[in-house]
Chain A
Amino acid sequence: MIVHSENIAGILNQVTAVFTRRQVNIESLNVSASSIPGIHRYTITAIADHETIMKIVDQIEKKVDVLQCQYFTDDEIFMQEVALYKVVTSVLTENPEMSKIIRRYGAKLIEVNSTFSVIEKTGPTNDIIALNKELSKLGGLLQYVSSGRVAITRARIEHVNEYLEKMETRYGNN
C-alpha cells in the first residue's frame, strides 16, 4: 500500500490505527519524503484479502491530511528491501562458506574490523530472509535488521501528481 500525506504530526498514528481496528498486521512500514516537496510517502506491506484491504484503503484516504492511499499487488510494483547483518569477523575469515554465500546473494561487506563485520544486502524480501537463514546456520550472526519494503509503481501515470493537478485546476491556487 502506498499512502501520500501532508507533513503534519500524528498521521502515522492515524494510518496504523486503521490497520489495528481492522485486525490486519502490518508486515513492514516505511516512511520517507516523496518526490513532491512537503509530502510524505508511506510504503506499507500487509497480507489481507481484497475486500479487507479496500476497506482499509478507503478509511485511510478519508483522513483529512491524507492525499491518497492506493494498494498494489506484488506484480504491480517494483519493490526492494535492504538488510544489514552483523557477524563475528572470525567466522567470516575462518569459514570460506560465508564469503561464498555473500557473493552468491550479491551482498556486500560495508564494515570489517577485528571483532565484527557488517553485510549489506538489497533485494526482494525472500532473498533477504533466505540470506538470514543461511548466515544463521553458519553461526556468528550477532544482529539482523531489514528495512521493510520500499516500492515504486509500474504504472505509466503518477497518481499523486495527477490528483494534485486535478485539485489545483479545480480549486485554483488557494
Chain B
Amino acid sequence: MNTDKTISGAEAMLQALLAEGVDTVFAYPGGSIIKVFDALYGHRTDLRQILVRHEQGATHAAQGYARVSGRTGVAIVTSGPGATNTVTGISDAMLDSTPIVVIAGQVSTDALGTDAFQEIDLVGVTQPITKWSYQIRSAEDIAWAVARAFYIAGSGRPGPVVLDFTKTAQMQQIEFKPAKIDYIRSYIPVPDPIEDQINAAVNLIDSSRKPLVLVGHGVELGHAEKELTEFIEKADIPAARTLLGLSALPSDHRLNMGMLGMHGNLAPNVKTNECDVLIAVGMRFDDRVTGTLSTYARQAKIIHLDIDKSEFGKNVKPDVTVLGDCRQTLRLLTERMSKSSHREWIESFKPLDKEEYDKVIDIAVNPKDGPLKMGEVVTEVSRQSPPDSVLVTDVGLNQMSASRYFKYRVPRSIVTSGGLGTMGFCMPAAIGATFGAPERMVLAFFGDGGFQMNIQELGTIMENGAAVKMILLNNNYLGNVRMWQQMMFDNRLSCTHMMNPDYCKIAAAYDIPYALVTDRAQLKDAVRQMISVKGPFILEAAVLEEENIMPMIKPGNSVDKMIFSI
C-alpha cells in the first residue's frame, strides 16, 4: 500500500533516529543500505551526515562523539564488508562501555541465508560484542527496535547495539509513529542501592586508617564527578584514577594521587598494596591496572561499587559490594560516613611522587639536550591549550605519555581506547569528538603507526573542516612493541622499525596546515601556531626514536614492583 500517510522503512528509520534526538550520523553508503541514503538525502538540513572514509572510522567517530557528549553515537553502514568493518569499533565500545548504535544494511529477507552478495550473519557475528544485536526484517519493527536500541545502548552500563536492517524492511511502506521505550522487564539497568551493602561499606570506611579510592570510567558515565569529590573530601581519602577515569577528578585536586596501572604513577600503584581499605568506584580491575592478581591488594579490605553485578569478583574478590548507580551510592556513603582526616597517610604518597619525578618525570618532560621527547611535547600542548580541551589518543607509547602528562581540568576530557587497545582509534574518534563537543578544542595524539592505521580519515577531516589538532609523535617505530622486544625478547626488533612517508606532503595533499618540530627550540611556537590556527592542524614532532615510557609494571609483576628503566 502506498498512500499519502505511508513512508518507507528507510525513511521511518531516520524519523525514529530524529525522535531519539540524533543530530549527527557517521555514515558510509553501499548497495544494501542505499535506500536509507536516499532517505538521508531528504534530511540534509535536520540530520548532519558525516561521510567517513572507512566503516571502522564511522564506529570510532560515533564513539568519540558519544564519549565527549554523553549521547549515543550513530553509524550507518552497508552489509557484508561494510558491516564487518565495524566489528573493531563495536568491540571497542563494548569493552569501554560506550553507547553507540550501528545500523547496517542487510540483504532482503528472501535472500537471507543464501550467501547472497555482501551477506554476512551480522547478528551472529556481533552478539558476543554488543549489549544487543537485532535483525529488522519488517518495517513494522522499526519503531520498537530503534527505541529499544537507544534505551539499551544508553542506559545502565552503556554499550554498543547493532541493528541489522534488511532491504525488505527498508523498502516496505508503513504508517509510522516513533516509539518510546524506558522499560524492559528482563533488564534492570540501574539496580536500587541495597541498604546492608551501603552500611557495610560505611563501617569499613569509617574504621579505615589508610583508605584508597580507585576512580574508574563509571564515575563519568554516571555523572558522579561531584559526588565523588564530596565523598573523598569528607573522608579525606586519596584517590587514584584508571586510564578511562582520568578526567573524572581534576589533575590538580589535592586528593588526586595520579594514574593507576602498568604505566601509571608510582605512588598509587605502590600504595594499592599498602592501603587497608580499597574503594573501587566504577572500575573493573582490568589486568593492566592490577598486575598479577595473586599479589594485588591482599592486605586490604576491598569495597567495589559498580552498576554491573557481573563485575563483582570477576577479577578481584571484594569484601563488600555496593551495587547501583555510583551517583546514588556515593551520595549515600557520603551522607552516612563520618568526616575524617588521613593526613599522615596522604603525606606518605609524597616521597614516592618525588622518587618518580626525579627518576622519570623530570627527564621525560624537561630534557635539556638530545632529541625531543614525547612527554615534553604533551606537556607543552597541555600547557598552551584551553582548559576544557579534549585529549584523544591512539594506542601505545603515545597514549601512555599523553595520558600521564596531560592535565585534566574538566570531566569527559579523555577519549582513548582502554580495553581493546585499538590502534587507529584516534583519528576517527577525534573527528567524532569535534562533532560531540564543537565548542571544545580536540587534541589528538598519535604515534606514526596509529596515524597510518586510519589515515584515510584525513579525507573526512578535510571535507568537514573538522578541527582536529593532530600531534604526531613520530619515532619511526611501533614503539610499544619495540620496547617490549628490547625488554623481553632480547632486543630482536621484529617488524617494529618503520619507514615513514613524508607527512608534510600528506598534509599538503589534504590541504591541512602542518608544522614539523625537530628541535626543542621550535616546540613552543609550533604549538602556539597549531592552537591559533582555526580548523585542523598536523604537528609532527620528531621524537627520540627509542624512548621508553617509564615507570612500568612488567607483565606478570605486582603493582608495587615498578621499574624505572629496562
Contact = CB atoms under 8 A, between A and B. Distances in A.
A145 B128 CA distance: 31
A13 B127 contact: yes
A168 B184 CA distance: 10
B310 A64 contact: no
Nearest to B182: A174
A10 interface: yes
Interface in B152-202: 152, 182-188
B113 interface: no
Interface residues of A, number: 23
A13 B184 CA distance: 20
Contact of A5 (B127, B183, B186, B309): B186
Contact of A62 (B128, B184, B310): B310
Interface residues of B, number: 21
A65 B152 CA distance: 11
B310 A13 contact: no
A82 interface: no
A26 interface: no
Contact of B123 (A10, A51, A54): A10
Contact of A55 (B131, B185, B187, B314): B314
A59 B310 contact: yes
A164 to B, nearest CB: 7
A9 to B, nearest CB: 8
Given A54-B313, A55-B313, A65 B186 contact: yes
Given A55-B313, A55-B314, A58-B309, A64 B184 contact: yes
A77 interface: no
A61 B186 CA distance: 9
A67 interface: yes
A59 B157 CA distance: 13
Given A54-B313, A58-B309, A167-B185, A64 B127 contact: no
B312 A58 contact: yes
A14 interface: yes
Contacts of A171: 183, 185
Interface in B108-135: 123-124, 127-128, 131-133
A58 B128 contact: no
A21 B128 CA distance: 10
Contacts of B182: 174
A31 interface: no
Nearest to B189: A64
Given A10-B123, A13-B124, A64-B152, A55 B310 contact: yes
Contacts of B308: 62
Interface of A: 5-6, 10, 13-14, 17, 21, 51, 54-55, 58-59, 61-62, 64-67, 164, 167-168, 171, 174
